[in-house]
Amino acid sequence: MAKMTMEMSVNGELCEEEAPANITLLDFLRDKLGFSGVKMGCNMGECGACTVLVDGVSVNSCLMLAAEAQGKEVTSIEGLSKGTTLHPLQKAFAEFGGAQCGYCTPGMIVAAKAVLDENPDPSDEEIRFALAGNICRCTGYVKIVEAVQEAAAELRAKGGDHA
Amino acid sequence: MPDLNATPLEIVGQRVPQVNSRLLVTGEARYISDTFLPRMLVGKILRSPHAHARILSVDTSAAEAMPGVKAVITGKDTPGIKYGFQQNYARKLPLESEKVRYIGDEIAAVAAVDEETAMRAIAAIKVEYDLLPAVFDPLEAMKPGAPELHDEDTNNVIARITSKNFGDVDKAFSECDHVFEDTYKTPAQAHVCMETRSVVAQYDKKGRLTLYASTQFPHVLRDIISRVLDMPESKIRIIKTFMGGGFGARQSIDPINPIASLLAIKAGRPVIIRKTREEEFETDRTRHPMVITIKTGVMSDGRIIARHMNVITDTGAYHDQATAVTGSAANKISNFYHADHVRIEGTVVTTNKVFGGAFRGYGNPQATFAIESQMDRIAEGIGMDRVAFRHLNANRQGETTVAGAKMVHCEFPACIEQAAAASNWDKSGSTQTLRRGTGMGCFVHTGGGARAAHAASFSSTLIKMNGDGAIEIFTGTPDIGQGSDSVFAQIAAQELGVSYDMVNVITADTDLTPSTLGVRGSRETFMQGNATKNAAHNLRVQIMERAAKMLQTKPDALDMKDAVIFVTDEPGRTITLQALMAPSSPELATAFPMPQSIVATGEFVDTISEMADPKTGYGNTCPTWAFGAQVAEVEVDIETGHVEVLKLTGAYDVGRAINPMAVEGQMEGGAAQGLGYALFEDVLWKDGRVINANLADYKVATPMDMPPMETILIETIDPYGPFGAKGVGEAGMIPTAAAIANAVYDAIGVRIMDIPLTPERVLRAIKEQGVRPLTKMAAE
Amino acid sequence: MLPQFDYARPDTLQDACRLLAANPDAARPLAGGTDLIFDMRLGKKSPALVVDLKCVPGLDEISFDADGAMRLGALVRTRDIELSDRIRQKFSALTDAIDVLASVQIRNRARLGGNLCHASPSADTPPALIALDATVEIAGPDGTRSLPLEAFFTGPGKTVLTAGEVLAAVTVPPVPAGGGSAYIRNTVRKAMDLAIIGVGAMLVLDRDGRCAKAGIGLGAVAPKPLRAHDAEAFLTGKQLDDATIAEAAKLARSIATPISDVRSQADYRADMVEVYTRRTLALALSRAAA
């Protein structure tokens, strides 16, 4: 199996690494590029812990080859904060109890960002539908939905998400 | 006892964010799989494909010869010491060399340069087996002639809990107006921590073993590893990283821990082992399945007089905490509702399946499903309102139960009243196809740990305060997501008059943090919270004594806020904490402006509870008891069997909520696990193989599956809890299955004696029992 | 762990077919990857060559002709179907099926063609598309061919595709005014489950309110998705009411041969075919009448 040079933009930075063709985007981000905020929950696309954005849309990075992300823009949880300034979603999850053990949190927040990018004023129902692929075993989802709503309100007041 | 309402203080009682929340929401928190050590190897385990077999030979030569393989171990590389959480029933070896007893039992392990090589090496190990017949059902396993798993046991009965008799049960039954007897069955439930079980082991040149482990019990883990590997405790360090869920699973000392240790020692390099999600389902602990027979005698006026409960627990192939869990389940009839005549029996049986362990509720969800289902049956049988029947028999504050449990603080009646009042009992929304119903499930559980499994319950902590008022708390308690870090930070900040963000919590490192039992039995807020309060108090005493000297007054004339100590009646007379800690002469202070820090320890030994008498079982085994009531409103589709929960309401007796947001989070998360347990969570086996070992076929609640939930916290001061708090980590999970099953009965008149209430199970029951006709009132 | 493979990214359909034809047992096409990578991880598939089709132009278009017939390129993202108001309006059954397909993350990757070619007996899109009378267009080294969707599947995981052929597009005739369609499935949870059974239905009413045309597709009750021809024939020409719908549901049930597996027992599935055919027909009818 040949090694490929994978090139993609990750969190705004151009990244280039040699990797085998069979590496998933999840393992490429974690093991080759060091973005350990992207989590492995099941490796089968059934839990959403590995969610990242590829060209702005949410995907399970465990079910995507790094090869398929060549030339694209990838956003992981690490791309949402600027220094110590948190994205409104991160702030809301922290302040409103949206994270307990925190393992599902990176994927959940990235998935929620995709929701709000598309629909800045979602109903609770719409949030739950859009986050159906993100499993949390700790919170029962109540405070996750609240946090998304809080962040949505803040983003609307700011005139949108420029992250 | 005066009804002291817990009004929020400045920090205790506030909805503050978790101490480390910024690390969680940015992905910066490091979990075990984010731990990278130089030259770290990947470990993999060879597991038995057979449910029951003798091992005839293990040939690792091909694996050892493979390039990239740095260590291979089998049973002969271990000291051969069996272990289990309860030592009396220690049967598990880290690597089995004589016999395997379930599909997944550990036989050999390799450490290699990468995952792919490790897996190839595992595949190259040759094992010869002599297959043995297997048994999977506990009732079958108890029959003479059944295949036997352990030489030590007869008919696969590994343990019986001591039969307890309080009062005169037989006479009492004969005098009751009505007697009800039922048998209920509960399934194995998987914890489904979002992070699969992992460990990193490192053995250094000082001969010290360090484990980065997901553990609820760092000190217990150290103790057991020491025993299993025959290494002194002082040579072992356990460090808990951030942890992706616990729920009781991470109390268990899973074989991956000693296995990774042995690989690291043999290879001379660090080793990481991570279970895959499939492996987690196939080999990690589950909630113990139980068959529970419960007999209750009542008078026509509704008083419960006599109760008899017999629990048969399926522990699977080995014993982790099954006996304690069985005791916890069976004991509920002695302290959940009032009864003067109680008999308790329990048997723990081995079967050729993955073995059970602690899981949120610790036998109580099983017991409560049985007890609370029967409560509705009884109420209907004697023509009494279900809520009134519960209210009548609910424990009252000040009561001591027939088994010796002291309900010093008890808001059980208020929980029943408030949960009922906040719920909709009106079924008029029913249609012919979609039937509505409402049901209640209540519980009692420990609010501060339990003495069942250990002779002493203690907690200790260390607090260091720096000149600028910053505090470090060194606590052995792991925060597994439940928010214990914040509880301790809030308590210390409140006690020492500093702001919450000045507190840092260092946890669960056996080299750094004082010993504690760990996270179990909803004990940490109560036990470690009290220890933290004591440590903070001791620190404050030291500070005030020093300050009193400097300010030439008495310590009790002083108060402290934001690192400034002041005379209460003359707030202008102050000294900063910085100045207090600075060197004594002004010259030295200028030359060396380096504040000292002040350190204090605090401990809390539970002298309130006691071990149960070994003969009679009498004793107050918990320092405080927590109560609650949940109400489920459901809609049942009688053509498909689907149960939709429209609303879940819970009223909980929590003492003071140190952090109401975190307490709600525990109740909401617990209810989600409880709803799963009620409706769709079930580990399924076929011939001993887990056939739903993935997240598609083992179903946990998605965001779409959770109904609107209302959480009512009843906060009155518990006399022994820190600032009046009780422990609540397990509560939300306990009564949900019963509430939903009772609601289903209310909706369709069909009683189902086993969970989960999958659509198929409900439809089958509907076909067998028939649906209650839609009443005229409901149809209008 | 994924098996080792080489990765190719052809930029023409001919090249793609050529690569696949040249390595019939060792090469697999990659669309969205949500099935292939999943299967590779489970060890069910171990191709030596993965042929990524996403750079082949022209395979990912949604288009409508003058009559309103819809053509979906095989590489159309299921998410784009979900977001299309026109498809939701006019071909509701397909949108119903896509709405419940796994999660947003999966739908952002999963392609319609991949979903069909994976040929899972419990997939959601086949019953919906069968009910809508869909046809598949297959491209191969020797040219193209078309056949009805229900003939595309030959068994669990199996289709009529031969070495070197790829599914190029799905075409769906227009649902005329007076027509409506729906897809409903039975699952335990409200999201993320595979269907225990699924039923797609399309009904077209004439001006008298009689059924002019009916389409009924069944999923997860046979080794492949089924078309309930007899039930359709029964309904055609009749006034639709509870009784006729109930009879059609019985006819649908009679062709189902469900199995028991980890998700469900055969007898429950058989019962549910009837219940869900009734319900899906009723929903399609209400949409047709609207």
Which residue in B550, B575, B579 sits closest to B560, CA to CA? Answer: B575
**Distance, CA of B604 to CA of B532 (rounded, Å):** 8
Helices then strands, counting H and E runs in chain A, come out as 5, 5
Burial of C241 (0-12, 13-18, 19+ CB in 10 A): exposed
Contact list in C for residue B759 (CB cut-off 8 A) is 186, 188, 268
| pLDDT at site C61 | 96
Query: What region does B316 belong to: left with phi over 0, alpha with psi -120 to 50, or beta?
Result: left
**Distance, CA of B107 to CA of B104 (rounded, Å):** 9
B669 and A81 within 8 Å at the Cβ level: the answer is: no
**Distance, CA of B580 to CA of B710 (rounded, Å):** 49
**Distance, CA of B159 to CA of C132 (rounded, Å):** 62
Q: Is the pLDDT of residue B276 over 70?
A: yes
Whether C68 and C157 share a structural domain: yes
The mean pLDDT of B180-185, rounded to a whole number, is 98
Whether C100 and C130 share a structural domain: yes
- C15 within a domain of the structure (yes/no): yes
Name the residue with higher pLDDT: B707 or B592. B707
Contact list in A for residue B672 (CB cut-off 8 A) is 137, 139-141
Whether C203 and C167 share a structural domain: no
**Distance, CA of B676 to CA of C152 (rounded, Å):** 38
Query: Nearest by CB to C38, which of A4, A45, A58?
Result: A45
Q: Which two tokens stand for residue C80?
A: 């784009």
Confidence of residue B586 (pLDDT cuts 50, 70, 90): low
A36 and B34 within 8 Å at the Cβ level: the answer is: yes
CA distance A36 to chain B (A): 6
Q: What is the pLDDT of residues C117-159, one digit of tens each?
A: 999 999 999 999 999 999 999 998 889 999 999 999 999 999 9
C188 close contact with B: CB closer than 8 A? yes
C79 and A57 within 8 Å at the Cβ level: the answer is: yes
Whether C142 and C211 share a structural domain: no
Q: Which two tokens stand for residue A140?
A: 């029962």
Q: Is the pLDDT of residue A120 over 80?
A: yes
**Distance, CA of B727 to CA of B652 (rounded, Å):** 11
- C57 within a domain of the structure (yes/no): no
Task: Check: CB of residue C171 under 8 Å from CB of residue C135.
Answer: yes
| pLDDT at site B588 | 56
- Cβ-Cβ contacts under 8 Å between B and C: the total is 43
The DSSP H or E segment spanning B448 is none
CA distance B406 to chain A (A): 31
Percent of chain B surpassing pLDDT 90: 86
Contact list in A for residue B193 (CB cut-off 8 A) is 101, 103, 137
Contact list in B for residue C192 (CB cut-off 8 A) is 695-696, 702
End-to-end CA separation in angstroms for chain A: 38
Task: Check: CB of residue B450 under 8 Å from CB of residue B332.
Answer: no
Q: In what order do the strands lie in the sheet with B99-100?
A: B99-100, B53-59, B126-131
**By CA distance, what is B277's nearest residue in A?**
A42
- C122 within a domain of the structure (yes/no): yes
Q: Tell me what ipTM this predicted complex has.
A: 0.98
| pLDDT at site A1 | 77
| pLDDT at site A25 | 98
Q: Is the pLDDT of residue B2 over 50?
A: no
The mean pLDDT of C248-276, rounded to a whole number, is 98
A1 and C6 within 8 Å at the Cβ level: the answer is: yes
Whether C243 and C157 share a structural domain: no
Whether C210 and C123 share a structural domain: no
B689 close contact with C: CB closer than 8 A? no
Q: What is the pLDDT of residues B10-42, one digit of tens each?
A: 999 999 999 999 999 999 999 999 999 999 999
Task: Check: CB of residue B109 under 8 Å from CB of residue B47.
Answer: no
Mutate to test the interface with A, among B21, B117, B675 (most CBs of A within 10 A): B21
The mean pLDDT of B61-78, rounded to a whole number, is 98
The DSSP H or E segment spanning B315 is strand B304-316
Whether C77 and C149 share a structural domain: yes
The mean pLDDT of C86-103, rounded to a whole number, is 97
Q: Is the pLDDT of residue C67 over 50?
A: yes
Subunits close to A (at least 3 CB pairs below 8 A): B, C
Query: Nearest by CB to C34, which of A4, A63, A114?
Result: A63
Q: What is the CA radius of gyration of chain C?
A: 19
- Domain limit, last residue, from C137, C172, C207: C172
Q: What is the pLDDT of residues B476-511, one digit of tens each?
A: 999 999 999 999 999 999 999 899 999 999 999 999
Poorest-pLDDT segment among B526-535, B537-546, B767-776: B767-776
What are the phi and psi torsion angles at C235 (to 5°)?
-75, -30
B34 close contact with C: CB closer than 8 A? no
Contact list in A for residue C40 (CB cut-off 8 A) is 22
Half-sphere exposure of C279 (CA within 13 A, CB side): 18
Whether C137 and C225 share a structural domain: no
Task: Check: CB of residue C78 under 8 Å from CB of residue C112.
Answer: yes
Whether C47 and C69 share a structural domain: no
B768 close contact with C: CB closer than 8 A? no
Which residue in C170, C166, C168 sits closest to C28, CA to CA? Answer: C166
| pLDDT at site B779 | 44
A101 and B22 within 8 Å at the Cβ level: the answer is: no
Q: What is the DSSP string of B12-58?
A: TTS-PPPTTHHHHHHT-S-BGGG---TTPEEEEEEE-SSSSEEEEEE
**By CA distance, what is A53's nearest residue in C?**
C105
CA distance C261 to chain B (A): 10
| pLDDT at site B1 | 43
Q: Specify the CATH number for the domain of residue C32.
A: 3.30.43.10
Task: Check: CB of residue B25 under 8 Å from CB of residue A105.
Answer: yes
Query: Nearest by CB to B661, which of A89, A97, A104?
Result: A97
Q: What is the pLDDT of residues A49-107, one digit of tens each?
A: 999 999 999 999 999 999 999 999 999 999 999 998 999 999 999 999 999 999 999 99
Confidence of residue B138 (pLDDT cuts 50, 70, 90): very high
- The rounded mean pLDDT for chain B is 94
CA distance C129 to chain B (A): 24
Percent of chain C surpassing pLDDT 90: 95
**How many degrees, rounded to 5, is the angle at CA B52 between CA B47 and CA B54?**
85
A45 and C52 within 8 Å at the Cβ level: the answer is: no
Q: What is the pLDDT of residues B293-350, one digit of tens each?
A: 999 999 999 999 999 999 999 999 999 999 999 999 999 999 999 999 999 999 999 9
What residue type is assigned to position B545 of the chain?
Answer: E
**Distance, CA of B654 to CA of B723 (rounded, Å):** 12
Query: Nearest by CB to B760, which of C191, C192, C268?
Result: C268
What residue type is assigned to position A159 of the chain?
Answer: G
Task: Check: CB of residue B722 under 8 Å from CB of residue B530.
Answer: yes
- C95 within a domain of the structure (yes/no): yes
Whether C32 and C76 share a structural domain: no
Q: Is the pLDDT of residue B591 over 70?
A: no
Contact list in C for residue A74 (CB cut-off 8 A) is none
B25 and A90 within 8 Å at the Cβ level: the answer is: yes
Q: What is the CA radius of gyration of chain A?
A: 16
What is the domain range of residue C80? 62-172
Cα B146 to its chain centre, rounded Å, is 33
Q: How many domains, in total, are found in chain C?
A: 3
Q: Is the pLDDT of residue B780 over 60?
A: no
**Chain A residues near any Cβ of chain C (below 8 Å):** 1-2, 4, 20-24, 43-46, 48, 51, 57-60, 62-65, 67-68, 111, 114, 129-130, 132-134
- The rounded mean pLDDT for chain C is 96
**Distance, CA of A100 to CA of B732 (rounded, Å):** 15
- C148 within a domain of the structure (yes/no): yes
Query: Nearest by CB to B697, which of C262, C268, C272?
Result: C262
pTM of the model: 0.97
A6 close contact with B: CB closer than 8 A? no
A135 and B194 within 8 Å at the Cβ level: the answer is: yes
CA distance A125 to chain C (A): 12
End-to-end CA separation in angstroms for chain B: 48
Give the other-Cβ count within 10 Å of B761's Cβ.
18
Contacts of C263 (CB under 8 A, 6+ apart): B697, C122, C188, C193, C194, C196
Mutate to test the interface with A, among C104, C118, C189 (most CBs of A within 10 A): C104
Task: Check: CB of residue B522 under 8 Å from CB of residue B728.
Answer: yes
DSSP helix/strand/coil, C87? helix
A37 and B694 within 8 Å at the Cβ level: the answer is: no
Poorest-pLDDT segment among B117-121, B589-593, B737-741: B589-593
The residue written with tokens 């009922």 in the block is B420
The mean pLDDT of B239-250, rounded to a whole number, is 96
A111 close contact with B: CB closer than 8 A? no
Q: Specify the CATH number for the domain of residue C89.
A: 3.30.465.10
**Distance, CA of B248 to CA of A14 (rounded, Å):** 43
C109 and A133 within 8 Å at the Cβ level: the answer is: no
Task: Check: CB of residue B376 under 8 Å from CB of residue B442.
Answer: no
Helices then strands, counting H and E runs in chain B, come out as 21, 28
CA distance B28 to chain C (A): 23
Burial A104-124 (b: 16+ CB within 10 A, else e): bbbbbbbbbbbbbbeeeebee
β-partners of residue B724 are none
Query: What would you measure as the largest C-alpha separation in chain B, in angstroms?
Result: 92
- C164 within a domain of the structure (yes/no): yes
C103 close contact with A: CB closer than 8 A? yes
C280 close contact with B: CB closer than 8 A? no
Subunits close to C (at least 3 CB pairs below 8 A): A, B
The DSSP H or E segment spanning B709 is strand B709-714
**Distance, CA of C79 to CA of B330 (rounded, Å):** 51
- Cβ-Cβ contacts under 8 Å between A and C: the total is 85
Which residue in C201, C187, C207, C219 sits closest to C131, CA to CA? Answer: C201
Contact list in C for residue B119 (CB cut-off 8 A) is 1
Mutate to test the interface with A, among C41, C54, C105, C118 (most CBs of A within 10 A): C105
CA distance B390 to chain A (A): 27
- C255 within a domain of the structure (yes/no): yes
Half-sphere exposure of B562 (CA within 13 A, CB side): 1
**Distance, CA of C213 to CA of C285 (rounded, Å):** 12
- C28 within a domain of the structure (yes/no): yes
CA distance A85 to chain C (A): 27
Q: Which two tokens stand for residue B149?
A: 């798993």
Output DSSP code: residue B110.
E
Whether C78 and C166 share a structural domain: yes
The residue written with tokens 């505090």 in the block is B471
Which residue in C273, B194, C103, B305 sits closest to A111, CA to CA? Answer: C103
**Distance, CA of A73 to CA of C210 (rounded, Å):** 53
| pLDDT at site C149 | 98
**Distance, CA of B442 to CA of B627 (rounded, Å):** 8
| pLDDT at site B455 | 62
Give the other-Cβ count within 10 Å of B747's Cβ.
25
**Distance, CA of C278 to CA of C290 (rounded, Å):** 18
**Distance, CA of A43 to CA of B620 (rounded, Å):** 47
Contacts of B505 (CB under 8 A, 6+ apart): B19, B20, B472, B473, B475, B479, B485, B488, B489
| pLDDT at site B458 | 83
β-partners of residue C210 are C239
Whether C123 and C197 share a structural domain: no
Which residue in A108, A124, A115 sits closest to A161, CA to CA? Answer: A115
Query: Nearest by CB to C106, which of A1, A21, A45?
Result: A45
Q: What is the DSSP string of A28-87?
A: IIIIIT--TTS--S-SSSSS-TTEEEETTEEEEGGGSBGGGGTTSEEE-GGGT-BTTBPP
Residue B571 preceded by cis peptide, ω within 30: no
Confidence of residue B435 (pLDDT cuts 50, 70, 90): very high
Q: Specify the CATH number for the domain of residue C240.
A: 3.30.390.50
